[in-house]
Every structure is written in structure tokens, then in C-alpha cells.
Structure 1
């Protein structure tokens, strides 16, 4: 029984990683928004852009939010919809802005997270 727990944890982590790593964009480059539009979209979301690259056919921005946390955003290149968000929080950072109402609105909500 003790041997099964680590194996189950490994399988669960591998399966969840495989699902996340499957973000690919398949639009013709003629449909893509220009790079300037991507950085403008990131600025609208409250980010300062450090780098912009193309990964698996998607735009990927790396930068910082207003609190100094490192943020990685993956955008669909034609619509600039946010497909994936990754945040590396500073020690002691307030994470509530990323938990409450995060769908497509990084950095927009200043409302406190409701307590249960």
C-alpha cells in the first residue's frame, strides 16, 4: 500500500502536466495580430513586458505585474485571448487578485477575495 501512493502521485502529476503542455495555436500567420497589439494587450492587463516570443504557434509574454510578481501569459495570436497564465509570486505577495475573477482579467480586479 505504501508503494502505491508515490506511484499514484507521479501518475497524477504527469497527467496534469501533459494536459497543460498541450496549448498549441493553429492559425495562419496572415490572421495574427501584430506584436505591438500583443504588448498593448499585456499593458491593458496590468503587465510590464520583458519579453515577447512565439511558442507552439502562440504568442508568449513574460513580464511583471504591478506588485512585481513574474507573469507568463500565452495568447491566441489572432484574437489575443489569454490561453494560459503562470505567476511566480514574491514571498508574502497578495495572491487574491489571481483567484477572484481571473478569467481573462489579469490585474483588473482590486476587490478583496471573499472569505468562506
Structure 2
């Protein structure tokens, strides 16, 4: 009985993990996508980021660059709405997360 419960719990955990991973993909129809250059201009104007590249990964725009203080950033955007989906910041030794707390990025 106990092994059946453990097997069921493990299977449920795997299914939920797979669902969570699948949710990371963007599913916007390609016909609705905005140009990458529009995203580049938006983040440079709005946040002062320096964009190094924008590529497509799992149906999303994946942006890599530097913020205005030289911290490395990786961000994922929905290609149709250009809505921020994920943001990863690799702070330099003198970097400070307070620059992002309470900013329009998190509101």
C-alpha cells in the first residue's frame, strides 16, 4: 500500500513538473509577432538596456544584454504582445537588486 502511494505521488509530481515546463513556451501565432527591432527599441528606450542579441527560443523572444549599470540580463518576451515573461539579472560584484525592486519591471 505504501509503495503504491509513493509511486502515485512520484507520477503526479512528474506530470506537474512537465506541465510547468511546457508552460514556459510561447504559443503566439507567428502572424501576430512584432519585429525584434520593435522589442530592441522598447527596452532601450524604456529601461536603458543595451541589447546584444534577440533570438527565438521555445516560441518566445529571448533577449540578452546589459542594463544601464552593466549587469548582464536575460529576458524572455511574448513575441506578439512584447510582454515580459521572465527576467534574470546577473549582478556584478557592486550590483544592487534594489535597482529593480518597485520598478515598472516588477509592477
Q: What TM-score do the two structures reach when normalised by structure 1?
A: 0.68
- Deviation of residue 103 (structure 1)? 1.8
Find the partner of 1:95 among 94, 97, 101: 97
- Deviation of residue 22 (structure 1)? 4.0
- Greater Cα radius of gyration, structure 1 or 2: 2
Higher helix share: 2
Contact 2:53 2:65 in 1 (8 A): yes
What does residue 85 of structure 1 align with?
87
Q: Indicate the SS of the match to 2:65.
A: strand
What does residue 50 of structure 1 align with?
52
Query: Displaced runs of 4+ in structure 1, greater than 3 A?
Result: 18-22
Cα RMSD of the aligned pairs, angstroms, is 2.2
Contact 2:49 2:65 in 1 (8 A): yes
What 5-or-longer segments of structure 2 have no aligned partner?
Answer: 1-15
What does residue 66 of structure 1 align with?
68
Distance 1:22 1:41 in 2: 25
Contact 2:76 2:85 in 1 (8 A): yes
- Deviation of residue 73 (structure 1)? 1.0
What does residue 8 of structure 1 align with?
none
| Residues paired across the two proteins, number | 89
- Deviation of residue 27 (structure 1)? 1.0
What does residue 29 of structure 2 align with?
28
Distance 1:80 1:66 in 2: 20
Distance 1:20 1:88, change over 3 A: farther
What 5-or-longer segments of structure 1 have no aligned partner?
Answer: 1-14, 105-116
